[in-house]
Amino acid sequence: MTWEHVLELIKSILTTQTGIPSLAVNQVLMMLIGLFFLYLAIAKEYEPLLLVPIGFGIFIVNFPLTPLMGFSEHGAPELIRFFYKYGIEWEIIPCVIFLGLGAMTDFGPLIANPKTLIIGAGAQLGVFITYVGTLFAGFTLKEAASVGIIGGADGPTTIYLTAKIAPHLLGANALAAYSYMAMVPLIQPPIMRLFTTPEQRKIRMRQLRPVSQREKLLFPLIGVTLIVLLIPAVAPLMGMFMFGNLMRECGVVKRLSDTAQNALMNIVTIFLGLSVGATMQADVFLSWKPLMIFCFGLVDFAVCTAGGILTVHIMNMFLKEKMNPLIGSAGVSAVPMSARVSHSEGLKADPDNWLIMHAMGPNLAGVIGSAAAAGMFIAMFQ
Amino acid sequence: MNAKCKVPMQSWIMAIFFALVLLPQTLWAAFGEDLEKPKPEFTREQDKITAKFIPRAKSTSVTIAFEVLGGKLKDVTPVDFATANRPGIDSKDFRSELYMLEITDVKPGAEVSVSMSSSFFSSSTEIWGFNEKLKDSWMKGDTENLPLADRVRQLVFQVKDGGAFDGDGAADGKIVLVCGPKDSFWGYAIGTLFIRFFGIFIVLGVLMAGMIFSGKFFQSLEARQLKTVAKPEPVMPAAAKPVEPEKEDEISPEIAAAISAALHAHFTAAQSSEPLDLSQSLLTGWTQHGRQQIMTDRFKTFNR
């Protein structure tokens, strides 16, 4: 064996069996983006449960020659492609997450004050405004709908709708949704102050009535019946959501409820995050569209926040007991972050005004509202 | 509205809007391949040719059945819209793409009746034809839009051999027709937008009505049950020895404060029909701490 032969062998190994010569600038850029989201998640604690797996997914999938998101020679999906195919493409994971969310949700504040459901509807304004905006920008109808739903501030709903109608935008949409959800405390307060007067921010609301266990138990059944009758397309999301809630409230399947809230939720969150992150490969992601999606997502969030507040203003024209318009911003369904923001803004105006439970009503209504909006879009394209 | 409030977020939003408006349209076109381009598959059944495809802005497939009266429909093929793209014509209006129909066995110079049937058509769908040999290449066909069974609509229009719609331009017993069903894209997009936005209000409004109704029902039911269960307090016999309460583990002052505040808040709320008015004089560190603790504990439920 000569030196030349050895060098040739080393060269061959380097070029065909390592990723170093294949590493491109755009891949490095994507890795940096992945690291940036990891930084946000770990150092700033912005939605860490989702942004850690998403960030790592972006980071790992952009290494060259990695057998992660492709198919083998025999057509079998590679590791993360496998999670993606059966979890997201088959629309399983978002629905399972909704099951967990249902099991974690106490609908008490919404049941005690059902009027707040209207706020949840009004807060979907941004979804539809953004839909028109993105159409003007040259997006297709399906893409526009998938971008619009970002403003609903519901990660699983965004992923479910995008995977169904515009899967090529999944990474950008999911990332925008979760990033802005994490930034709710930064985005919402200026809009809240812009659309309310100091006097309006001081409005006190009557304490919510106690809600009996029987009402809580029947809510998922009544809710799913009415919603699924009106929008059958939303049955997978709403059905799982209400089933999770029924398990929680019925009290006889504590083990199942506990599993849905914790173990199952955690498992699917890992696969969801990794799969979504792994869709962001450099050749797909680095274009104008994701950048525009981030811009539109921000506008979407802002308009949804304003839409919720304006809905409260309109409702107050007809109500004897006025509602504090700050709870309108909680109509976006970033639970419970946006309710917290309403509460903290209320405390700034009046240190003894406790809005937290009042804001939970529109916050939960926002979950239902954004799922309804997603159902409307799905039905539109059927 | 609070006009005094100076908000940096406003500037950001405005900047983004302007950026989106000012960026040239060519950038939007640089988005890559046309993912929604319909890819029709054709099947022939005697004189009828059916195209099956997924149209733009749909997730499920539809069919269009082509038929001709007064001639023989030889073939139907899809036409790439790029070849017929002209100023003032928006490809988005042609959600089912364009088709080239080859019609033979026509009496030279005679008219044939071309029909397209589909459940995808609406009452406002029109047929537009394209002839690249003409200066005004795009023409609206004089279309009859007829409703059939099962929500199918039939578009029927006349084409003359050697007429404006005939691509070969000669009255030679053969017609080459390039045409497609046209719907207003913006009409559909904006119309459906309003319907769906208000649809959400209707859905949540119905849910609200259901909840108000069931809430009132359960409240009255529970009130009735409480009435029937309530009994007069038993009178303690004078000689009875007072029962010593069982000694329990001591609780911390913080928990005691929280329990007291919770009980106070609960009973005050239950008695009052007006909003609670906690005047400043009642606001001691003790009550604040208690309320904070109660709220934090309740809120744990919602933490995801």
pLDDT at A92: 92
Contact A51, A272 (CB under 8 A): no
* Least Cα separation, residue A43 to chain B (angstroms): 19
pLDDT band (50, 70, 90) for residue B224: confident
Check CB contact of A359 with chain B, cutoff 8 Å: no
pLDDT at A130: 92
Taking an 8 Å cut-off on Cβ atoms, the answer to whether A369 and B200 are in contact is yes
**Number of cross-chain residue pairs from A and B with Cβ atoms under 8 Å apart:** 195
Contact A128, A296 (CB under 8 A): no
**A15 in a structural domain:** no
Query: Count of alpha carbons within 13 Å of A190, Cβ hemisphere only?
Result: 15
The average pLDDT across B19-43 equals: 62
> What part of A 113-172 touches B (C-beta under 8 Å)?
114-115, 117-118, 120-122, 124-125, 128, 131-133, 135, 137-138, 140-142, 144, 164-165, 168
For A376, name the nearest residue in chain B, comparing CA atoms only. B196
Q: If you search the block for the tokens 């799982």, which residue do you land on?
A: A240
Buried b (16+ CB within 10 A) or exposed e, B64-73: bbbbbebbeb
The residue extents of the domains of chain B are: 33-183, 185-223
**Does residue B283 surpass a pLDDT of 50?**
yes
pLDDT at B303: 56
* Least Cα separation, residue A219 to chain B (angstroms): 8
> What part of A 315-334 touches B (C-beta under 8 Å)?
321
For B187, name the nearest residue in chain A, comparing CA atoms only. A132
Which candidate, A292, A307, A246, A269, places its Cα nearest to that of A105? Answer: A246
For B274, name the nearest residue in chain A, comparing CA atoms only. A206
**A98 in a structural domain:** yes
Contact B196, A124 (CB under 8 A): no
Q: Which two tokens stand for residue A21?
A: 């010569």
**A16 in a structural domain:** no
Q: Which of A358-362, B164-168, B254-258, B259-263 has the highest mean pLDDT?
A: A358-362
pLDDT band (50, 70, 90) for residue B15: low
ipTM of this complex prediction, to 2 decimal places? 0.87
Check CB contact of B8 with chain A, cutoff 8 Å: yes
Backbone angles phi, psi at A155, to 5 degrees: -55, -55
Check CB contact of A105 with chain B, cutoff 8 Å: yes
* Least Cα separation, residue B30 to chain A (angstroms): 8
Contact A122, B208 (CB under 8 A): no
Q: If you search the block for the tokens 């050697």, which residue do you land on?
A: B162
Q: Which two tokens stand for residue A117?
A: 């459901």
> What part of A 222-261 touches B (C-beta under 8 Å)?
222-223, 226-227, 230-231
Higher-scoring residue by pLDDT: B28, B13: B13
Taking an 8 Å cut-off on Cβ atoms, the answer to whether A118 and B205 are in contact is yes
What pLDDT digit, counting tens, does each position of B109-125 carry?
A: 888 999 999 998 888 88
**What residues are paired with B129 via a beta bridge?**
B139, B179
Give Cα A316 distance to the centre of its chain: 29
> What part of B 68-107 touches A (C-beta under 8 Å)?
none
> What part of A 329-358 touches B (C-beta under 8 Å)?
335-336, 339, 352, 354, 356-357
Total domains in chain A come to: 1
Of B206, B269, B304, the CB nearest to A207: B269
Q: Which two tokens stand for residue A337?
A: 């972050």
What does the alpha-carbon distance between residue B123 and residue A61 come to, in Å, rounded to a whole number? Answer: 49
pLDDT band (50, 70, 90) for residue B33: low
pLDDT at B291: 73
Taking only Cα atoms into account, the Rg of chain A, rounded to an integer number of angstroms, comes to 23
Range of the domain at A356: 24-62+79-381
Taking an 8 Å cut-off on Cβ atoms, the answer to whether B215 and A339 are in contact is no
Identify the segments of chain A with pLDDT beneath 70. Answer: none
Check CB contact of B263 with chain A, cutoff 8 Å: no
**Does residue B222 surpass a pLDDT of 60?**
yes
**Does residue B138 surpass a pLDDT of 90?**
no
**A1 in a structural domain:** no
For A198, name the nearest residue in chain B, comparing CA atoms only. B2
**A89 in a structural domain:** yes
